[in-house]
Amino acid sequence: MTTTAFIGLGAMGGPMAAHLARAAEAGGGRTLVWNRTAAKAQAHAAQYGSEAVSLPELAQADILFTCLPTSAEVDAMLGELRPHLRAGMYWVDCTSGHPDAALRQHAALAELGVKFLDAPVSGGTKAAEAGNVTMMFGGAAQDFEAVRPHLAFGGRVVHVGSVGAGFAVKAINNALLAVNLWATGEGLAVLAQGGVNLGAALEVINASSGRSNASENLIPQRVLTRTFPATFALGLLAKDTGIASDLIGQHKSSAPVLAQTAALWRGASRVIDPQEDHTAALKLIEQMNGVTLT
Amino acid sequence: MTTTAFIGLGAMGGPMAAHLARAAEAGGGRTLVWNRTAAKAQAHAAQYGSEAVSLPELAQADILFTCLPTSAEVDAMLGELRPHLRAGMYWVDCTSGHPDAALRQHAALAELGVKFLDAPVSGGTKAAEAGNVTMMFGGAAQDFEAVRPHLAFGGRVVHVGSVGAGFAVKAINNALLAVNLWATGEGLAVLAQGGVNLGAALEVINASSGRSNASENLIPQRVLTRTFPATFALGLLAKDTGIASDLIGQHKSSAPVLAQTAALWRGASRVIDPQEDHTAALKLIEQMNGVTLT
Amino acid sequence: MTTTAFIGLGAMGGPMAAHLARAAEAGGGRTLVWNRTAAKAQAHAAQYGSEAVSLPELAQADILFTCLPTSAEVDAMLGELRPHLRAGMYWVDCTSGHPDAALRQHAALAELGVKFLDAPVSGGTKAAEAGNVTMMFGGAAQDFEAVRPHLAFGGRVVHVGSVGAGFAVKAINNALLAVNLWATGEGLAVLAQGGVNLGAALEVINASSGRSNASENLIPQRVLTRTFPATFALGLLAKDTGIASDLIGQHKSSAPVLAQTAALWRGASRVIDPQEDHTAALKLIEQMNGVTLT
Amino acid sequence: MTTTAFIGLGAMGGPMAAHLARAAEAGGGRTLVWNRTAAKAQAHAAQYGSEAVSLPELAQADILFTCLPTSAEVDAMLGELRPHLRAGMYWVDCTSGHPDAALRQHAALAELGVKFLDAPVSGGTKAAEAGNVTMMFGGAAQDFEAVRPHLAFGGRVVHVGSVGAGFAVKAINNALLAVNLWATGEGLAVLAQGGVNLGAALEVINASSGRSNASENLIPQRVLTRTFPATFALGLLAKDTGIASDLIGQHKSSAPVLAQTAALWRGASRVIDPQEDHTAALKLIEQMNGVTLT
């Protein structure tokens, strides 16, 4: 009988916790939930059969999942939970957090006998709802093996290295998203200036060697349609490129393309709007080129 | 009864012309072939049922295809064929050529009553053999429609704009390939410096938003295996990023990431080796970071 | 007795031609002037003792100087003057022109027996008025020696290479100006975000290894004062970085920093205003960083 | 009667401390010196009239200067000196240190009643010997005023902001040095490919708007001569560009040119040699362009 707990019932966390509750119901365990806005937890309990509990009660779970905007919110939760956490439990942080924070949080929890794993997710809300998010784990192999059977919301689940490695891979993944998206925007701006039909250009690029998730999905669905649906904020992707830059600084890496792109995303976040969808960064490319990508 | 002709029986052109010959056999037409190395044409004829002919004879075809290393070789062929070309024929250039050359060649051929279309291909030798290369056409819509039924080696066939637009889209596609490949190499170098397992990292990236053709195919198959099979030369991709840079210059585009990446590829071509496979450019990233991507 | 002629009596050309007229008066020669706006030529003649003449008359000079916005205007003048030019004369083009244009103009003039030298100038209006502009000559050594004694407006006068080399050096000089100015703007934006006093920071930078003409003169005089006096247009400097990019393309150079900076200047020219002073490009850096450089 | 102390008698620190000793002799004070290699301190005392003392004795000075390779060595000294430091004294750190270290060291010393100022220097060994190094101070204004009369080795001495600001300005200065040097190297590589005489090109650039300390001094004296005298190591300048990158990360700045250049310097440090002179970084530009800058 395993008791899981979940903090952070947002667009990703809500459906992820629902999968835990469903599995608990099937398997005889319990799923405890908590949210800074208490009503969200109560609604989740009512809808999915989880239990909305207090933090001290939640801190008695076998596995605690967190899914928050940044590592700063995880630090805050750790402060509140510290007096209550049960030795021997696991804390699996699904936030797109900072590798430095993972090391710090791991050390602080180790003093309490709590095992920390960083396990950011990808796939967006669609995968969260389908219960097959991709998970990249940093931490001890035996801790990974211990929690693995209880990842009811997980699809592809991969152990990528020691503590912090999960966050590192997530940061690099998002930095690559930022590069691919920006570069494809530049390429389309050049073609637009030359009078090329962008839909036709994307059709062939997507059947050719220059294709990426950005060219196949994001730009045709969000940019050429001029909808820019705000599912992943420009400011958050700019933050993630900053985490990648921090990694680059720590390892004294030579990564000129990632470094330049991080700078451009920060600029776009300020010139456009950090709250807009991340694909709206291409509006800065449009301004710098005097074209609209349609 | 259509007579097609094909010049340039290389790794791509050979199997493409074979598909023309097969279609001619089925439909009652003819396929003429020519290669600078005459033995190649004779072998092609023997193996696929095409006809190895002289240039004056070849110049009487209904549709002439060229598939050569660069626009310079196409210019040379145009010079040799000029006295013989039949008014009313079509010249479809499948070279990864230069948009400026397309305009020049189009104008020169128009004086002879020959219609020029730029139609670079993608998909590599696998698609050429399967007869489903992607084709991006620049030229007049009615010329495109006229040749379309005769593209026996084509899969996805798209008309992207006026003369030169095909070459432009191909150059941008290859520039995006260059960016995606280089940036993914940088990202993996950073992760390697942090002790992350690169195979595991690629597995999650390829199930996440940062994926591209580079991360899904090229790097796992050619770089992490250390095989770097020379199917597409580093020097040729550096040339293609140069064509993209020329387009950027002509349109006075602001494309900092494409511009930076073109510079790095030229550097890699000199420091590594222009004859090596294009993926070997990542060896320069390795040198600049003191790691090996395995 | 030498007759000099001058086309293009703008902010630079006007005072340069005045020095020629002064030298002619002292030495017994003549100075002919022409301007697209005829009144400018007449005013120059009245003020400085030059002679406002027709193009056919001007084409009989021993040495013809041109000082125009771009090579396109020089091409236009060459077209108008072609029927009148005197064999054996010298054409010294002080425009910040394009190396390709120099080769083309040199060849066209050689057919008429006219010797062409590209000789762009630097030092700004102050040096033009003082009669000590820096001149960088491209062309044959003996042609350079022939015109050298007649450069009444010249200060440092250097022969840098064959035809086009003067324009090439000028383009690279201006590209370096663009880099130094942009990078110093970035550095000051970072310091401003950290609450550092920018005037004090520039004082020490200008006594240290990071100093440049941009940090010593342009930024303290034009940016920190918020005056941005429009003496050299942002759009013209963006054009010059484009000429440098063309050179990079021709030589297949690997110049990632020059390439990136050219892209950013083109973007700044569009987002800010091509008519503003070149230092106003730093307003884009301000927008991308949420600070004002004061 | 002021007692000054100096730790770190290297190529910069040795002559700086000598100026302190000379001033003490003239004014009736004392100058204490210490070096990790004790013989250096004894030789300094013998030559300049300073006093080689133990760390506990040195810790009784009124003003303690440190001049060490990086902030890590300053941290180590702080650890050793902590039990001995006299409340009320000043610690002036002339290292090219890290702004984060300054904040940390300032806080640690404040607990002991010791006032910390970061005061990196510039001007090289020539200025150290002449006793006119440029100094950029971060710290409280009254602390700056208190130490100001005792800077016998200082020339231009500027208070640029609060604790850490001195290190920040130094890092940005060195980042600008790195940009100007690299970009000028690129520009000269392009000109060399075009057959331009580089000495002549530098002569006109240095009389024009693109000039910088790099073009006026470093490249003609160290690169074109192929001497690359190792006075400031490539690895140390790469470290300084890394400090600038850290500042950029902290302020979430958008500084694409500084970011790219930092990446290229790290790459050059690995591909060439971190022990070579910083100007030897241009050998990577040479490799990437197939030219030698002579």
Strand, helix or coil at B28? coil
Chain B closest CA to C264's CA: distance in Å? 6
Strand, helix or coil at C52? strand
* Strand partners of residue A65: A6, A92
Decide if pLDDT at A62 tops 90. Answer: yes
Decide if pLDDT at A53 tops 90. Answer: yes
Q: What is the pLDDT of residues C134-160, one digit of tens each?
A: 999 999 999 999 999 999 999 999 999
How many beta-carbon pairs under 8 angstroms link C with D? 260
pLDDT score of A125:
86
Instruction: Looking at D116-164, list the stretches that DSSP marks H as alpha helix, in order from N- to C-terminal side.
Output: 124-130, 141-147
Q: Which of B166, B100, B237, B218 is nearest to A205 (CA)?
A: B166
With bands split at pLDDT 50, 70 and 90, how would you rate the model's confidence at C118? very high
Which residue, among D234, D266, D271, D282, would best test binding to B if mutated, counting the most B CBs under 10 Å from its CB? D271
User: In degrees rounded to 5, what are phi and psi of residue A235?
Assistant: -65, -35
- The identity of residue D154, as a single letter, is G
Question: Residue A134 corresponds to which tokens in the numbers above?
Answer: 């991709």
Q: How many helices (H) and strands (E) does chain D have?
A: 13, 9
A126 annotated active-site: no
Q: How many angstroms separate the CA atoms of D7 and D194, rounded?
A: 50
With bands split at pLDDT 50, 70 and 90, how would you rate the model's confidence at C1? confident
pLDDT score of D27:
87
pLDDT score of D134:
96
Of D156, D209, D211, the CB nearest to C207: D156
pLDDT score of C78:
97
Q: Which domains does chain A have, with CATH numbers?
A: 3-163 (3.40.50.720), 168-289 (1.10.1040.10)
Of A260, A270, A290, the CB nearest to C287: A270
Transcribe A31-74 into DSSP letters.
EEEE-SSHHHHHHHHHHHS-EE--HHHHTT-SEEEE--SSHHHH
CB contact under 8 Å between C271 and A260, yes or no, is no
B-chain CB neighbours of C254 within 8 Å are 263-264, 266-267, 270
Q: What is the pLDDT of residues A212-264, one digit of tens each?
A: 999 999 999 999 999 999 988 999 999 999 999 999 999 999 999 999 999 99
* Strand partners of residue B161: B138
Q: Within 13 Å and on the Cβ side, how many CA atoms surround C36?
A: 12
D-chain CB neighbours of B274 within 8 Å are none
Q: What is the pLDDT of residues C66-94, one digit of tens each?
A: 999 899 999 999 999 999 999 999 999 99
Interface of D with B (CB under 8 A): 256, 260, 266-268, 270-271, 287-290
Of A124, A253, A257, the CB nearest to B193: A253
Q: Which helix (H) or strand (E) element contains residue A136?
A: strand A133-138
pLDDT score of A146:
98
Which residue, among C176, C193, C219, C222, would best test binding to D if mutated, counting the most D CBs under 10 Å from its CB? C176
Please check whether residue B261 is in contact with residue B116, taking contact to mean a CB–CB distance below 8 angstroms: no
Instruction: Looking at D194-281, list the stretches that DSSP marks H as alpha helix, in order from N- to C-terminal side.
Output: 198-205, 213, 234-251, 256-271
Chain A closest CA to D240's CA: distance in Å? 11
Q: How many angstroms separate the CA atoms of D40 and D19, rounded?
A: 16
Which residue among A40, A115, A126, A170 is the active-site one?
A: A170
What interface predicted TM-score (ipTM) does this complex get? 0.94
Residues whose CB is less than 8 angstroms from the CB of residue A20 and which lie 6 or more positions away in sequence, other chains included: A4, A6, A31, A50, A65, A150, A152, A153
Q: Per-residue pLDDT for chain B (294 aa), expressed as one digit of tens each? A: 799 999 999 999 999 999 999 999 998 899 999 999 999 999 999 999 999 999 999 999 999 999 998 999 999 999 999 999 999 999 999 999 999 999 999 999 999 999 999 999 998 888 999 999 999 999 999 999 999 999 999 999 999 999 999 999 999 999 999 999 999 999 999 999 999 999 999 999 999 999 999 999 999 999 999 999 998 899 999 999 999 999 999 999 999 999 999 999 999 999 999 999 999 999 999 999 999 999
Which residue among C40, C170, C239, C283 is the active-site one?
A: C170
For the CA atoms of A281, A285, A288, A291, the dihedral, rounded to the nearest 10 degrees, stands at -120
Q: Other CB atoms closer than 10 Å to residue C161's CB: what's the count?
A: 22
Q: Helices D234-251 and C165-193, interaxial angle, to 10°?
A: 50
CB contact under 8 Å between D270 and B256, yes or no, is no
Decide if pLDDT at D125 tops 90. Answer: no
B-chain CB neighbours of A137 within 8 Å are none
Q: What is the pLDDT of residues D8-27, one digit of tens each?
A: 999 999 999 999 999 999 98
CB contact under 8 Å between C176 and D212, yes or no, is yes
Which residue among D40, D170, D239, D283 is the active-site one?
A: D170
pLDDT score of C216:
98
How many degrees, rounded to 5, is the angle at CA B211 between CA B205 and CA B213? 130
Give the mean pLDDT of C174-193.
98
With bands split at pLDDT 50, 70 and 90, how would you rate the model's confidence at C124? confident
Q: Which of C95, C3, C91, C82 is nearest to C50 (CA)?
A: C3
B-chain CB neighbours of C248 within 8 Å are 245, 263
pLDDT score of D222:
98
Q: Pairing mode, if any, of strands A133-138 and A121-122?
A: antiparallel
Please check whether residue B109 is in contact with residue B85, taking contact to mean a CB–CB distance below 8 angstroms: yes
B-chain CB neighbours of C244 within 8 Å are none
With bands split at pLDDT 50, 70 and 90, how would you rate the model's confidence at D42? very high
With bands split at pLDDT 50, 70 and 90, how would you rate the model's confidence at D231? confident
CB contact under 8 Å between C242 and B260, yes or no, is no
Give the mean pLDDT of D30-37.
96
Decide if pLDDT at A124 tops 90. Answer: no
Strand, helix or coil at B125? helix
Taking all residues of chain C, what is their mean pLDDT, rounded to a whole number? Answer: 97
Q: Which of D282, D283, D292, D284 is nearest to D192 (CA)?
A: D292
A-chain CB neighbours of D248 within 8 Å are 245, 263
Transcribe D88-126 into DSSP letters.
T-EEEE-S---HHHHHHHHHHHHTTT-EEEE--EESHHH
- Find where tokens 């690299």 sit: D182
Chain A closest CA to D268's CA: distance in Å? 9
Q: How many angstroms separate the CA atoms of D87 and D100, rounded?
A: 23
Q: Give percent above pLDDT 90 in chain C.
A: 96
Question: Residue D245 corresponds to which tokens in the numbers above?
Answer: 């990158």
Please check whether residue C183 is in contact with residue D257, taking contact to mean a CB–CB distance below 8 angstroms: yes
Q: Within 13 Å and on the Cβ side, how many CA atoms surround B58?
A: 24
3-state helix, strand, coil in chain A (%, to 5): 55, 15, 30
Closest residue in A to B203 (Cα) is: A158
Q: Give percent above pLDDT 70 in chain D.
A: 100
Question: Residue C84 corresponds to which tokens in the numbers above?
Answer: 């009148």
Which residue among B40, B115, B126, B170 is the active-site one?
A: B170
CB contact under 8 Å between B263 and C252, yes or no, is no
Indicate the burial class of D198 (C-beta count within 10 angstroms; 0-12, 13-18, 19 or more): buried
Decide if pLDDT at A27 tops 90. Answer: no
Q: Which of B201, B115, D112 is nearest to A165 (CA)?
A: B201
B-chain CB neighbours of C267 within 8 Å are 254, 256
Chain C closest CA to A263's CA: distance in Å? 9
Closest residue in B to C243 (Cα) is: B249
CB contact under 8 Å between A267 and D245, yes or no, is no
